[in-house]
A and B are shown apart, each in its own frame.
Chain A
Amino acid sequence: MATNNRIIDAHAMLGVENHLAMEVDELLRRMDVYGIEAAVARPMGAELVIDFVAGNDRLLSTPNRIFAWVTANPWAGVRALDELERCRDRGAVGLFLHPARQGFMPTEPMVVPLLEQATNFNWPVMFHTGTYVNADVLAVVELARRYPSVAFVAGFGGFADMWFEMPGAMAEVENLYLDLSMTWSAEIKQITTGSGADRVLYGSAEPRNRYPVTLRALDRLDLEGPQRQAILCDNVRRILKLP
């Protein structure tokens, strides 16, 4: 597996959601087993939708190796903006939104204040993508057009059956990035070839997916050294401004 590179996981999850659960100690244990230097995690389940303050606190109280994609439900209005400001002051590195779970369309007006705040904080924004209607990949493309200075990350890369929109979406706007955590290798290869390795972020989707599965999938692509380094580490460091 990919042991010669520094590896930063751009998309892990902490908390509980249906059959999935991950505590920080277990994530750190798995990171150690597979040589993951750092991970950027986001809340899940109720801590994504209702108890987002608790979810953000869970992330912001983790050790230095885990950075926070924080969230706030756009339906919370001013309370959401206050929460993001609080998180910024505590060291959050980006905004995560899940339109399907949080119940909005990415282009709805209620999202605008959050995106403006992310712009002001110089944060990237990861959207969950792939769930039909709310989490349409092309809705995120629309936002990327409207906010050209913001880096948007397509979380889960359109998984499952919007995967075929991703290569075209990446070609449409330069500020859209692929989180490969749930993406099959042929699509990763296509996007790496078509849009460049600097647009692809290694993610694990732990605890839904697994480090060995995603790392082996990347190994099988036989990427050149600089491309691997970009995907496994450099891109996420650059976009999220990690140390």
Chain B
Amino acid sequence: MTVIDFHTHLDEYWFGRPMLDRDRFLAGMDRCSVSKACIFTLRGFSGDCRRHNDALAAHARTTPDRLIPFVTVDPKEGDAAVRELHRCLSDPIFRGIKFHSWLQAFAPSMVRQTMLDILQCAAEHEVPVFFHDGTPPYATTFQIAALARWAPRATIVLGHAGLADYVQPAAELARDLPNLYACPCGPKAGDIAHLVQTAGAHKVLFGSDFGFADWPLLAERLDDVLEAGLNEVDLSKVMCGNASRLLRLEPS
């Protein structure tokens, strides 16, 4: 079965601890039979987005068939953030936008106009906008899902599908909002079965947070989905088909 991991982090270190380098990252993907991974920054959430966006692009250029970089910007910077977004998305190697509004210290409503500009840019480039969700006060599932209503032409992804305490609303919101998707990175098998049953298998994307820890995390998150009791067709959509569609990947 082909697997695309829609939620990983490839960076140098985090809180002073070294993270996986690219070779070890790819080795972890191999070990868990993951074909492609959307790669996000971590340190870029604290500033200097441009440098971290360029670093992700450089990683992807070494292995373009496997690593798919997502750009991040700081919406608190207003027009400068939108300019950085345009700069990155003019390079087709970038296939999505990543925000972690908890770590980046904004609620979307605090930066509404800039966020609307960002979502418009995302819609023009046909790239998904991926948000951490499930954590108050800046990243509740409701705060993130609201963006799908603000910009119906943009594709919004709940990066943790409600995480611990918001799974039930995440499932219903992904069902009710055509442009809202759920990436169950953290929710467990019982939750994932519910997400697929409620929102539909076409709205759920596998993601792991791999890179934040070594391959056992990836294996664990794969188990979460594999033990959810999905049928083969639904499993294939969750593991690969939906990601391929949102990323506009060529059929292999």
A residues within 8 Å of B by Cβ? Answer: 18-20, 100, 130-132, 156, 159-161, 182, 184-186, 205, 207-210, 212-213, 216-217, 220-221
Q: Which A residue sits closest to B166, measured CB to CB?
A: A160
Query: Are A131 and B165 also in contact (CB < 8 A) when A160-B134, A184-B213, A210-B227 are?
Result: yes
Could you tell me if A217 and B168 are in contact, using CB atoms closer than 8 angstroms? no
Could you tell me if B188 and A217 are in contact, using CB atoms closer than 8 angstroms? no
Could you tell me if A20 and B164 are in contact, using CB atoms closer than 8 angstroms? no
| B132-147, CB < 8 A from A | 134-136
Q: Which B residue sits closest to A217, measured CB to CB?
A: B220
Q: Which of B189, B193, B197, B219 has the most CB of A within 10 A?
A: B189
Could you tell me if B186 and A160 are in contact, using CB atoms closer than 8 angstroms? yes
Q: Is the interface of B mostly helix, strand, loop or mixed?
A: helix
Q: Contact mask B196-233 → A, CB, 8 Å, 1/0?
A: 01100000000000000110110110011001000000
A103 vs chain B, min Cβ distance (A): 14
Could you tell me if B160 and A18 are in contact, using CB atoms closer than 8 angstroms? no
Query: Are A160 and B160 also in contact (CB < 8 A) when A19-B168, A213-B220, A217-B220 are?
Result: yes
Could you tell me if B220 and A185 are in contact, using CB atoms closer than 8 angstroms? yes
B197 vs chain A, min Cβ distance (A): 8
Contact residues in B for A160 (Cβ distance below 8 Å): 134-135, 160, 163-165, 186
B residues within 8 Å of A by Cβ? Answer: 102, 134-136, 160, 163-165, 167-168, 171, 186, 188-191, 193-194, 197-198, 213-214, 216-217, 219-220, 223-224, 227
The one of A18, A161, A212 in contact with B135, judged by C-beta atoms closer than 8 angstroms, is A161
Complexed CA–CA distance, A18 and B213 (Å): 31
Complexed CA–CA distance, A208 and B167 (Å): 11
Complexed CA–CA distance, A98 and B136 (Å): 19
Contact residues in A for B188 (Cβ distance below 8 Å): 182, 205, 208-210, 213
Could you tell me if A132 and B216 are in contact, using CB atoms closer than 8 angstroms? no
Complexed CA–CA distance, A242 and B35 (Å): 46
Contact residues in B for A186 (Cβ distance below 8 Å): 213-214, 216-217
Contact residues in B for A19 (Cβ distance below 8 Å): 167-168, 171, 190-191, 193-194, 197-198
Q: Which A residue sits closest to B223, measured CB to CB?
A: A213
Contact residues in A for B164 (Cβ distance below 8 Å): 130-131, 156, 159-161, 182
Contact residues in A for B193 (Cβ distance below 8 Å): 19
Complexed CA–CA distance, A24 and B135 (Å): 33
Q: Which of A19, A156, A216 has the most CB of B within 10 A?
A: A19
Given contacts A18-B168, A209-B190, A216-B219, 8 further A-B contacts (CB under 8 A): A19-B167, A130-B165, A159-B164, A184-B213, A208-B189, A212-B227, A213-B188, A213-B223
The one of B163, B189, B219 in contact with A210, judged by C-beta atoms closer than 8 angstroms, is B189
Could you tell me if B223 and A212 are in contact, using CB atoms closer than 8 angstroms? yes
Q: Which B residue sits closest to A160, measured CB to CB?
A: B164
Contact residues in B for A132 (Cβ distance below 8 Å): 135-136, 165
Could you tell me if B213 and A213 are in contact, using CB atoms closer than 8 angstroms? no
